[in-house]
Structure 1
């Protein structure tokens, strides 16, 4: 569909790379699942998740602005799945996406096991 209505040359490979950068969302969902499983109150889980979202975003922002701290982009999903880098380098970090999916599945399994062992009625 994109090739039908294109105005400029369009790279479907880059399109799919950018579409696959939703790994950021899976990583933040992983953090949200773990935080909501471990904490007792929803407000605490929300606060932890929002804090870590902001923390990782700021770390990724610092890595993009200052070349001195470019190594920090590998520590945050906002740096690993940066659309500007994907377009500039025309490459995608498949290993990072696989790692994020593994973390997400591990978080789900951890929450299931945690709740099966937890005495909710107590």
Structure 2
């Protein structure tokens, strides 16, 4: 299972790299969002896919417990990433309203002939 998730994370990194190298602001923003999701998958994979009980005190029998720290960190990262992506999309939309383009070269002042 970990091998499949690692391959999926690699595919997501490849797609994110392709989007980050484009000249459209929207594609760059989507590329950063996909890259963050690939990082989330890698963190989950490194944490390991384990089966066990919820670590609660006062349980009846001692068994194998699952570490909840990777899931908590990833959930926090997803919420922060969503907020950053939303803010970036709003800024890109406002920039498009002001300039009329979302091409990064034109926003830098480089005109193509």
State TM-score, norm by structure 1: 0.36
Which of the pair has the greater relative contact order for Cα pairs under 8 Å at 6+ separation? 1
Greater helix proportion:
1
Bigger Rg, structure 1 or 2: 2
